Amino acid sequence: MKLENTYREKAEYLKNLKRFVGVQSVGWKSPSNIALVKYWGKREVQLPQNPSMSFALRNSFSETLVNYSFNENLDIKVELLFENKRNEAFENRIKSYFEGIIDFIPFIKNLAFKIESSNSFPHSAGIASSASAMSALALCLVSIEREMFGTLYEEKTFFEKASFLSRLGSGSAARSVYENYSVWGQSAFVSESSDELAIAYNNNIHSEFLGLGDAILITSSKSKKVSSSMGHNLMIDHPYADSRYKQANENLEKLLKAIASNDEQTFVDVIENEALSLHALMMSSSNGYSLLNQNTWEIIQKIKKFRKENNTFAAFTLDAGPNVHLIYKLKDRNKIVEFIELVLTEHCENNKWIDDKMGHGPEKIV
């Protein structure tokens, strides 16, 4: 049985929320994640056309506080503050999201929500802000279910439902509810992998690949001119779609072997190929577009040169935006930071970069 159907059946128990007085609160901090094998192209309701793999970040996160009270009117009632300001666009998105998940957590129609959210990094600049924000919200919702109904008491089932609900808000958010590596999308190479949710990937990882840094080089903090949702839609009739999905599956197999055997060259080859393939798909789609800028390309070329001249593990990847993620091993941190400060910051907006690394996953804060 599909997990979707299982959650629909279990939702019968979640329809009768007992009245309570006053306002209650729950809050989660949830990380962004950086995809190494990219998700680009979806079908049905937020189901991926190919498996993807990412790792959670430590310092790029969203904090979401949900205040909720009993709602007599049985309708969706949401007020949202982003960075301490009312944001109607986000508010409408959350209302639509709630309407889409009401079959799985029907008690939300019995609640009035005031949601406060903030990011530790620029919004809509290609650092998966929707991944951290939607996963933080989903974690709050499953916490409310656990508190009000006594369900999801096992950690595995708790985070599985959080991943499932996160996916329905933003596909990449499914991967943000776990620490270290996660895989989303069914793959013959990962047991228990699923299109409906992400799973933690903790097996067969060389210790050096559990200590990765991610220096996020900000070439632009402006909102993207083309949203990821629009980009996904352009894959529907893309001439290279089938080849792309085959490529992603092959790259996932290669990447899993690389992190198991400490194969640095294959890791570099795969994630850089994935990054450039993602943006090549954007450029070759109908009404093709590019989110990259000149500084993006300057940084990429200088990373390649640094790697060759210093014989040091350093690889670039890109999310759906112009900012460059420099992936390195933490044992080389001093050398990498020096390289960034002396060579790369001149290509960053206001010399800005985010000093990040592989993270420990979400954290309950209220």
Structure tokens at 69: 């009270």
Q: What is the mean pLDDT of each run of 10 residues along the chain (366 residues)?
A: 93 95 98 97 94 97 97 91 91 96 97 96 68 97 98 97 97 97 97 97 94 95 83 93 97 98 98 98 94 97 98 96 96 98 97 95 97
Task: For the chain, give the longest Cα–Cα distance.
Answer: 67
CB under 8 A, 24+ apart: contacts of 277-285: 277/38, 277/244, 277/247, 278/38, 278/40, 278/318, 278/320, 279/318, 281/40, 281/235, 281/238, 281/240, 281/244, 282/226, 282/231, 282/234, 282/320, 284/238, 284/239, 284/240, 285/231, 285/234, 285/235, 285/238
The residue type found at 88 is E
Q: How crowded is residue 8: how many other Cβ atoms within 10 Å of its Cβ?
A: 14
pLDDT at 74: 85
Scanning the chain, the segments in alpha helix (DSSP H) are 3-10, 88-101, 129-149, 155-169, 228-233, 241-261, 264-283, 294-310, 333-339
Domain annotation for the chain: domains and CATH numbers: 3-203 (3.30.230.10), 208-357 (3.30.70.890)
Nearest to 119 by CA among 186, 187, 61, 73: 61
pLDDT at 225: 80
pLDDT at 123: 65
